[in-house]
Structure 1
């Protein structure tokens, strides 16, 4: 806590103003509000976990109530309707809140109930983005990037409007929450935020053209089994600018994708085996986090998740405890995959490249293969109208 410039008392330089309540615009306001709200939740019997500090759970006998907090937006759900209503009543007494009823729209994400589960999309967000960029009348395309093509850092002329470029790319990043198939394309254009070329902006417009033709797509979440599995992939030395590998993974709970990522590694891998092995390590860490989160939510899962990889050498390395000449330089923390396999907390299995779901997160694909992986990631249309709002 620090006194604002110009208000420091020379006789008491260490003192600060005492606020009766937190105000918007102050740097301390978000922290003060979060402490105020979480303290009150603890009095209602809620606990939170280190896996996600914004997620709170209250257990009422055999029932649970789950509360998710994002600044001052709240989602409440659970298995006991009476307990949920009691929490809402308690929050209403303590804070000035507005109950909006069933969940339809949250932070730009549209939620629609279906007969089998939930449908999540960002149709309205895409429409607003296309209007903002004047791409609402553009011609749609089949894929968000050219197949098996990478962007070069010095490719043609410099783009003259860096503010526009950064604004669009940042907006596209938020779309990866419900559109995992554009994660790799967005990951590519994000690498040129400091020095954009015309070719880079052309790639951005291709993503927008793809969204123009698929704005009503979203992820369908269905009821089903609770087995945890993941697909891990790496495009070894795929970046022509620095020869670093791109890692991609997608984790499934049953048939529903719950976590995905497309990210370039910070170091250069000496072989495809090393690149794939590092990808296994990244995915294993994500699976550990998901397991902790599900345990906190009292969701029963299979004791050992299955991790699929399309590189036999990397799979062998996860089973073999012997240090080889070509792998002795790999950091010790990466080898915790081997420990999980040895203790039967993780099973690593081979999957063919054709059935590697994470392939779409590491490289641009041809249109037929791209559409196949879209289906694998449960990306399709809802059978109902999407309920949204502003």
Structure 2
């Protein structure tokens, strides 16, 4: 690299582009607590009361909910900053996606939703992504909330992809067209997840990393049947392009599509507002807590463990000396 680029060694990665990296014997922990704190300060909510979830399951009305928000530039600035925060916080991806849909003309109710999201961040500043060694196997979860948008009745696609135990890709995105059935909405989500899987597989092959056929988990039996059944039905002709894209890869055994229960669908957190208990259950599968000991600078965790073991030995020797002297006396 030195022969091609002008570069120098800066030691172990600690902080880069708003992302803190903590290195330990278990792997790497990435978080943006400092960046999230700056967002709270920008919104004047540094000392707000934390909330348990980023979105309410039911919309609440206020006396001025339908009025235009008086500071649209502030709304756009905060929501734009929250978009960058989703790099290490997939649990807020759906809430941020919903907030971004009102950038052009935010209402007071929309800002109330953003404030709730900020209150949730206040109580979860220590959350982030954990990367640790594991098997190089791709596993994907695909889900869709059929006609979940109450304004235009478009569905939301959500997927998350794991490389071994590590979350490497996720998305919460409103579908461009209205789906006429839950099967169609789920199948569109299946096609988008398949496209992301194809890209990740190509990237890993370029890095000369051998891969087993990935597994794609879906909770819709009709969409799974459609991916393996070569016979078109009258109600599925309008999704022919997506059908061929997924069907070719299933037929060539490039990956497997399996069914799982809706209660185990991790991508559910990326498609709709959830209850507090359900949200925490899925959040635990995506994120990790930061270590109680915060490492700064270029100190590695193994060195910290070595120093701790030396201190323990010194204390043990000190205790033995005291006990010996007391016996003599």
| 3-state secondary structure, aligned to 1:327 | helix
Query: Counterparts of 1:368 and 1:387 in 2: how far apart (Å)?
Result: 34
Describe how 1:90-129 pairs up with structure 2 within 5 A. Answer: 90=3, 95=6, 97=7, 99-129=9-39
1:368 matched to 2:277: yes
| 3-state secondary structure, aligned to 2:237 | coil
Structure number with the higher helix fraction is 2
Describe how 1:317-336 pairs up with structure 2 within 5 A. Answer: 317-336=226-245
- Stretches of structure 1 lacking an aligned partner (at least 5 in a row): 1-86
Contact in 2 for aligned 1:110/1:388 (Cα 8 Å): no
Q: How many residues align?
A: 296
Describe how 1:35-184 pairs up with structure 2 within 5 A. Answer: 87-88=1-2, 90=3, 95=6, 97=7, 99-147=9-57, 149=59, 156-184=66-94
Structure 1 pair 355/150, CA: closer, same or farther in 2 (3 Å)? Answer: farther
- The match for 2:126 is 216
- The match for 1:351 is 260
| 3-state secondary structure, aligned to 1:291 | helix
Query: Counterparts of 1:117 and 1:148 in 2: how far apart (Å)?
Result: 39
Describe how 1:191-270 pairs up with structure 2 within 5 A. Answer: 191-270=101-180
- The superposition leaves residues 341-372 of structure 1 with CA deviations (integer Å, 9 ceiling, x where unpaired) of 11111111001111000000001111111111
- Stretches of structure 2 lacking an aligned partner (at least 5 in a row): 299-329
Q: Give the one of 309, 313, 329 matched to 2:218.
A: 309
Contact in 1 for aligned 2:226/2:243 (Cα 8 Å): no
Query: Counterparts of 1:148 and 1:360 in 2: how far apart (Å)?
Result: 16
- The superposition leaves residues 106-164 of structure 1 with CA deviations (integer Å, 9 ceiling, x where unpaired) of 1111111121111000011011111121110000000111126599xx95111011100
| 3-state secondary structure, aligned to 1:267 | coil
Query: Counterparts of 1:308 and 1:120 in 2: how far apart (Å)?
Result: 26
- The match for 1:58 is none
| 3-state secondary structure, aligned to 1:100 | coil
Query: Counterparts of 1:339 and 1:212 in 2: how far apart (Å)?
Result: 46
Normalised TM-score (structure 2): 0.86
Higher relative contact order (CA 8 A, sep 6+): 2
Structure 1 pair 280/333, CA: closer, same or farther in 2 (3 Å)? Answer: closer
Query: Counterparts of 2:81 and 2:161 in 1: how far apart (Å)?
Result: 24
Contact in 2 for aligned 1:187/1:262 (Cα 8 Å): yes
Structure 1 pair 388/184, CA: closer, same or farther in 2 (3 Å)? Answer: farther
| 3-state secondary structure, aligned to 1:188 | helix
Query: Counterparts of 1:331 and 1:166 in 2: how far apart (Å)?
Result: 38
Structure 1 pair 141/313, CA: closer, same or farther in 2 (3 Å)? Answer: same
Query: Counterparts of 1:261 and 1:379 in 2: how far apart (Å)?
Result: 19
Contact in 2 for aligned 1:111/1:386 (Cα 8 Å): no
Query: Counterparts of 1:297 and 1:264 in 2: how far apart (Å)?
Result: 32
Describe how 1:267-306 pairs up with structure 2 within 5 A. Answer: 267-302=177-212, 304-306=213-215
Structure 1 pair 197/114, CA: closer, same or farther in 2 (3 Å)? Answer: same
Tell me which stretches of 4 or more aligned residues in structure 1 moved more than 3 Å: 148-151, 386-389
Normalised TM-score (structure 1): 0.73
- The superposition leaves residues 212-234 of structure 1 with CA deviations (integer Å, 9 ceiling, x where unpaired) of 11111111112111111100000
Query: Counterparts of 1:306 and 1:150 in 2: how far apart (Å)?
Result: 39
Q: RMSD value over aligned CA atoms? A: 1.9
